[in-house]
């Protein structure tokens, strides 16, 4: 019975005397960058030097200076300020997409791997249908149906990303389903719900976090693209995709500051989250 109870804890627990994994320096750096971006978005009102919509007709398209560290845009607004405030919506949208799609995808994956049989096949076919819709096209159709803004693209992208997360999590869950600790839980009389949630789900949680982190980067790119074409967040609201779009006309006149700053922020954020997600995914694979 003692051996059965130990098996029921699952394979992910660290045994006494086992050496702990060395910290992944690259993952730590990527995580620090992600944390810094999140802090900048949260504390934007405290650290931004101006208000994001303050127009100064005497400071149009100025380069970097002591008064405007990143310069100004075509309306004389401070680019650094708009970049900081723009981080709020630019990170909030992907966060909502990641939360919704990860929750749905994980629920479908765990349910399908646990139930198996016909239920699993039906879920797999439904996911295949969702795979047929490109995420951007799905978001554009949602905007056409429900109007521009942040809500419609977020809901559409959440649905579009669900099958990608579900397929990865399901593969890991099916593997875990065959391990001895699941049988041990059943021998101990644990309910299916307790076994699936407290044990199976717990042992794939690192992979779930990894997939959610990677999804965040892709969602940020898609939402920025939707805002760039005018279907997402609307001007004059500060948003990185909107800033790239608004700075597009100034590029022809040699003023690259606005588009370059917003584009660099998007690239930095996506790279940081993708690197962190890939490192976490590799770590989770090494523990299986």
**Is the four-CA dihedral 261, 267, 272, 277 of positive or negative sign?**
positive
Domain assignment present for residue 19? The answer is no
Residue 222, domain extent:
85-287
Residue 286's pLDDT is what?
59
Residue 9's pLDDT is what?
54
What CATH number is associated with residue 245? 1.10.3720.10
Residue 17's pLDDT is what?
43
Query: What is the SS3 assignment for 255?
Result: coil
Domain assignment present for residue 41? The answer is no
Q: Residue 253: how many CB atoms within 10 A of its CB? A: 9
Domain assignment present for residue 66? The answer is no
Here the tokens at position 101 are: 């799609």
Q: pLDDT digit string (tens) for 9-35?
A: 555 443 334 445 677 788 899 999 999
Domain assignment present for residue 205? The answer is yes
Long-range contacts of 198-205 (CB under 8 A, 24+ apart): 199/8, 199/9, 199/10, 200/110, 200/113, 200/114, 200/173, 200/176, 201/106, 201/110, 202/10, 202/12, 203/10, 203/11, 203/12, 203/176, 204/169, 204/172, 204/173, 204/176, 204/284
Q: Residue 20: how many CB atoms within 10 A of its CB? A: 6
Residue 3's pLDDT is what?
43
Residue 235's pLDDT is what?
87
Here the tokens at position 155 are: 């809901």
d(CA 124, CA 116): 11
- pTM, two decimals, is 0.86
Residue 285's pLDDT is what?
67
d(CA 184, CA 191): 12
Residue 13's pLDDT is what?
42
Residue 220's pLDDT is what?
95
Do the beta carbons of residue 71 and residue 62 sit within 8 Å?
Answer: yes
Distances (CA, A) of 124 to 22, 44, 182: 38, 43, 23
- Residue partners of 267: CB distance under 8 A and separation at least 6: none
Q: pLDDT digit string (tens) for 214-257?
A: 999 999 999 999 999 888 888 888 999 999 988 887 777 778 88
The count of domains in the chain is 1
Long-range contacts of 62-66 (CB under 8 A, 24+ apart): 63/257, 64/257
Residues of the chain with pLDDT under 50: 1-3, 5-7, 12-19
Q: Pick the closest to residue 78 from 86, 68, 64 (CA basis).
A: 68
Residue 239's pLDDT is what?
92
Domain assignment present for residue 193? The answer is yes
Domain assignment present for residue 72? The answer is no
Domain assignment present for residue 71? The answer is no
Residue 241's pLDDT is what?
92
Counting Cα atoms < 13 Å in the Cβ hemisphere of 108 gives 23
Domain assignment present for residue 10? The answer is no
Do the beta carbons of residue 227 and residue 93 sit within 8 Å?
Answer: no
Q: Which residue has the tokens 């809500």?
A: 151
């Amino acid at each position: 019975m003692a051996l059965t109870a130990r098996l029921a804890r699952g394979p992910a627990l660290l045994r006494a005397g086992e050496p702990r994994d060395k910290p992944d320096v690259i993952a730590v750096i990527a995580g620090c960058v992600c944390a810094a971006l999140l802090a900048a978005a949260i504390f934007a009102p405290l650290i931004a030097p101006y208000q994001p919509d303050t127009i100064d007709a005497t400071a149009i398209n100025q380069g970097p200076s002591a008064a405007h560290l990143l310069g100004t845009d075509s309306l004389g607004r401070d680019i650094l300020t708009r970049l900081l405030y723009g981080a709020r919506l630019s990170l909030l949208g992907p966060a909502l997409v990641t939360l919704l799609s990860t929750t749905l995808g994980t629920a479908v994956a765990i349910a399908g791997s646990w139930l198996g049989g016909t239920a699993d096949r039906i879920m797999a076919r439904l996911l295949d249908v969702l795979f047929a819709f490109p995420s951007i096209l799905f978001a554009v159709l949602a905007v056409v149906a429900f109007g521009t803004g942040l809500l419609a693209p977020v809901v559409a992208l959440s649905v579009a990303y669900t099958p990608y997360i579900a397929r990865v999590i399901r593969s890991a869950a099916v593997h875990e389903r065959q391990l001895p600790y699941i049988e041990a839980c059943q021998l101990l009389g644990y309910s299916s719900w307790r076994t699936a949630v407290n044990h199976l789900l717990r042992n794939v949680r690192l992979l779930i976090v990894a997939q959610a982190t990677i999804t965040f980067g892709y969602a940020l790119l898609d939402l920025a693209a939707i805002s760039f074409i005018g279907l997402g967040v609307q001007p004059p609201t500060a948003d990185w995709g909107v800033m790239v779009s608004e700075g597009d006309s100034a590029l022809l006149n040699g003023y690259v500051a606005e588009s370059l700053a917003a584009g660099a922020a998007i690239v930095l954020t996506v790279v940081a989250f993708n690197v962190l997600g890939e490192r976490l995914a590799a770590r989770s694979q090494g523990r299986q």
